[in-house]
Amino acid sequence: MATTTAPPEKPVKVVEPGSGTGSRTTRLLGLACLVGVAVLMVFAFALTEADLVQQDVVRMIYIHVPSAIAGYTGFVITAIASVMVLWKKSMWWDIVAVAGAEIGLLFTGLMLATGVIWGRPTWNTWWEWGDVRLMTALMLFLVYVGYLAYRRVVPSADVRARRSAIIALVGVINVPIVNRSVEWWASRTLHQQSSLSDGKLEDLTLFTLAMGFVVFAMVFAWMLIHRFRIGWLELQADTVGLQAAMAERRAQMEADIDDAVAHPGVSEPIEGGSA
């Protein structure tokens, strides 16, 4: 078995080829996610009361706000990882960066989708151009769409790591500028100022929202772990492919040399006339 020759200080778990990126931890985490989503739905739809003003549509808050937090967390992870890529020149951090961006993009997309659906009954419009948070989220979303699109077209792994780190960081630097410009531009904002702080929410509503954060955090962690492992496997697959190609090339060269030694003159028709 391959594991016997591995370095002794780090015992290697035997991984069956094709068994996927799961491990016992992630399977437990995945199970917890499923249970968590089910319990969250019970709380969100059965146990909590409807809002006096917004009525039942307030139940959107249990997925909208956690999506927003998860989306921004993903981009923060990408930003930190991008700094580490440029600082440590590490492929490990590059894999973290792309995992954060992809998952951040998913949750930011969900935040925008739920926000649009929520906006229609409460603000009486699908889209509000003047809303600062909405526009900032949209711009961040587009920047990271570009980030992932860019990553797909750069062939070399380390060039891709460095350059896409720059793009991610420029995107982050841009956030305050977008925020400022939309705020001045609109000088009005529909978005409810944070509902959490002013004690307006009922205790059970607050508890359910907190539960939403926990459930989304678990889902986020599950996705991040799996996406990281996929990035890791992609890097390994490229390396394996490269090594296989090099081995093939070496074998071919050795065969050519053997051939040339065994049959001198065949490969050198001009000078080999003496044979």
Partner 1 sequence: MTHLGYLIAGWGIVLGAMAIYAFSLARRGRELSARVPSDRQRWMTTPERVDAGGPNR
Partner 2 sequence: MREVWAVAGKDLRIEMRSKVVASQVLPFAVIVLVLFGLALDADRGTLRSFTPGLFWVTVLFVAILTIQRSVSIETASSAFEALRLSGTAGWKIFAGKALAVAAQLLAIEAVMLLGVVVLYRSSFEDPVLVVTAALAATMAIATAGSLYGVLAVGMGVRDTILPMLLLPILAPVLVAATRAFDDGLSTAAVNGWAWCSLLACFALLYAIVGGVAYAVVLEDA
Residues that bind partner 2 (CB under 8 A): 86, 139, 142-143, 145-146, 149-150, 153-156, 158-159, 162-163, 166-167, 170-171, 173-174, 177-178, 180-182, 184-185
CB 165 within 8 A of CB 82: yes
* DSSP labels, 15-83: --TT--S--HHHHHHHHHHHHHHHHHHHIIIIISPPBTTTBGGGGGHHHHHHHHHHHHHHHHHHHHHHH
To partner 1, the closest distance from the beta carbon of 256 in angstroms equals: 24
CB of 184 to partner 1, least distance (A): 31
Q: For residues 32 and 145, which CB has a smaller minimum distance to partner 2 in the complex?
A: 145
DSSP state of 99: H
CB closer to partner 1, 202 vs 256: 202
170 binds, among partner 2, partner 1, none (CB under 5 to 8 A by kind): partner 2
Summarize as ranges the residues that interact with partner 1 (CB under 8 A). 2-7, 10, 12-22, 30, 37, 41, 45, 50, 55-57, 59-60, 63-64, 67, 90-92, 106, 109-110, 113-114, 117-118, 120-121, 219, 222-223, 226-230, 232-237, 239-240
> Residue 189: which of partner 2, partner 1, none does it interact with, CB under 5 to 8 A by kind?
none
Tokens at 247, concatenated: 């081995």
67 with 98: CB under 8 angstroms? Answer: no
Q: How far is the CB of 266 from partner 1 (least distance, A)?
A: 34
Residue with smaller CB distance to partner 2, 52 or 184: 184
- Exposed/middle/buried for residue 17 (C-beta within 10 Å: 0-12, 13-18, 19+): exposed
Q: Which does 228 bind (CB under 5 to 8 A by kind): partner 1, partner 2, none?
A: partner 1
Task: Supply the minimum distance, in Å, between the C-beta of residue 14 and partner 2.
Answer: 38
Angstrom distance (rounded) from CA 57 to CA 50: 8
Q: Which does 79 bind (CB under 5 to 8 A by kind): partner 1, partner 2, none?
A: none
Residue 56 or 254 with smaller CB distance to partner 1: 56
Q: Which does 15 bind (CB under 5 to 8 A by kind): partner 1, partner 2, none?
A: partner 1
User: Rounded to whole angstroms, how far apart are CA atoms 105 and 160?
Assistant: 19
Q: Report how far residue 27's alpha carbon sits from residue 19's, in angstroms, rounded to the nearest whole number.
A: 13
Rounded Cα distance, 102 and 94, in Å:
12
Distances (CA, A) of 90 to 9, 95, 154: 23, 9, 17
